[in-house]
Chains A and B, each alone.
Chain A
């Protein structure tokens, strides 16, 4: 799986932010993970823990995960519904002309940081 790749990407972004903002230590990282982002959170946390102890700025940080619900929009009846429960078929009119509005993202929301 590609959880490690995502961890590396986040770490890179945070290290760049740290440099720009003169951050010396990160206390916590809050991530918002969409329900259908494809990220397996257990695996993600394992990768994160493996990586963070090897990274000076992140090593004492706490990882906070928030789930973003997945919502699908129906192009035929123009209603929205929860993706995970109903999938591609609109529960109101049975249409398959539906698309995901939110829920496939992985967002670095904020960090708690110690500066000089």
Chain B
């Protein structure tokens, strides 16, 4: 049987659509004065560890929500919600990043109107999350010492789109022969505006410097 088809014009820019939704997220969050922070890193770089320290330091000051995006499981969401902040586990179903649409749905499910501050722990990956704007006010990436100081050369986009580069696990610097200055230089070559931090989320070293910066950023953004 011969099938007959009509042509339907669509003309939708798939990638631009992500930017449109990200723009909408920014609008909504501006309206509710909710500061939204996108946390990106490789698996195991210390996203959850740093989140815990950050939440402990700021939870009396701001009402905080967290979205944990993972391919599967809910271990991080359990850890975070034990701190007494509103937490949502998002399953990406094997996807390697959060896009703006999934983020928007997550924000609505979490409920954002009454929150001052929301963190997204993005899927552990240095490639894809960098390509998808999720409407955050601040883009933070963590690079942990065991990954090596050459990562800006291998994953340039992540360093280009991030406002902050947090070098974590500096308690292990000697073991891994990590050259912090060289790493910062490589990152700055890609993004002169990037703000570097050097800390240990586990031992707490220099975490206060990060907290001070973040607190200042949030205050500035919300006023």
- List residues of chain B with CB under 8 Å of any chain A CB: 3-18, 94-97, 99, 101, 127-128, 131-132
Measured CB to CB, the nearest residue on chain B to A39 is B15
Q: What does DSSP make chain B's interface, helix, strand, loop or mixed?
A: mixed
Inter-chain contact B3/A114, CB cutoff 8 Å: yes
Please tell me if the beta carbons of A13 and B7 are within 8 angstroms of each other in the complex.
no
Quick one: which of B8, B14, B17, B95 contacts A21, CB cutoff 8 A? B8
B14 touches A6 (CB 8 A): yes
Check B14–A13 contact: CB distance below 8 A: yes
Instruction: Assess A105 versus B10: contact at CB under 8 Å? Given A2-B128, A27-B3, A38-B131.
Output: no
The 10 closest A-B pairs by CB, nearest first: A112-B5, A27-B5, A2-B128, A108-B10, A106-B14, A108-B12, A110-B9, A106-B15, A113-B8, A107-B13
Q: In whole angstroms, what is the CA distance A55 to B13 when docked?
A: 22
A37 and B132 contacting across the interface, CB-CB below 8 Å: no
Q: Is A75 in the interface zone, CB < 8 Å from B?
A: no
A5-B134 Cα distance, complex, nearest whole Å: 14
- Shortest CB distance A34–B (Å): 8
Report whether B127 and A105 are in contact in the complex, using a CB–CB cutoff of 8 Å.
no
Choice from B5, B13, B99, B128 contacting A28 with Cβ under 8 Å: B5
Task: Tell yes or no: A109 within 8 A of B by CB.
Answer: yes
Contacting residues of chain A (26-68) with chain B, CB-CB under 8 angstroms:
27-28, 37-38
